[in-house]
């Protein structure tokens, strides 16, 4: 099974939209070689650039989450969409630490997610 990388995710989405590398780079207001390096896996886009990628690549919410997961994977687990939330929420940090300390299984995480989806 093929593992998707950040670069291949961006390149495949760009190509699906019929955008050239130079065209997308111009939309993002970055140099084409910088975008090329991102697509080849040699660079990771800055956090400031991510909203522009989301807009220019017309990402769905699921694709936005995939983008953030791929960026976080390249940044040793620093997920740009979650860092500020965890920093601001004492309860989120407490809950995550308890989950870690109790080594809760995926089945419990699924129940937690379903509970959140159902309004608590």
Domains and CATH numbers, the chain: 6-78 (1.10.260.40), 89-117 (no CATH)
pLDDT confidence of residue 1 = 42
How would residue 60 be classed by pLDDT, with cut points 50, 70 and 90?
very high
Average pLDDT, the chain: 95
70, 5 in Cβ contact below 8 A?
yes
Q: How far is CA 73 from CA 2, 15, 53, in A?
A: 16, 23, 17
User: Tens digits of per-residue pLDDT, 14-59?
Assistant: 999 999 999 999 999 999 999 999 999 999 999 999 999 999 999 9
The pTM assigned to this predicted structure is 0.84
Q: Which residue has the tokens 């860092």?
A: 83
**CA 51 to the chain's CA centroid:** 11
């Amino acid at each position: 099974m093929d593992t998707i990388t950040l670069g291949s995710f961006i390149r495949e989405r760009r190509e699906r939209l019929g955008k050239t590398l130079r065209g997308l780079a111009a939309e993002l207001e970055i140099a084409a070689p910088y975008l090329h390096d991102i697509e080849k896996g040699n660079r990771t886009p800055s956090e400031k650039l991510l909203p522009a990628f989301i807009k220019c690549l017309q990402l769905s919410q699921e694709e936005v989450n995939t983008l953030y997961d791929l960026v976080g994977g390249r940044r040793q687990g620093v997920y740009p969409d979650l860092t500020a939330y965890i920093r601001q929420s004492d309860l989120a940090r407490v809950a995550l630490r308890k989950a870690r300390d109790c080594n809760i299984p995926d089945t419990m995480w699924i129940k937690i997610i379903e509970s959140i989806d159902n309004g608590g």
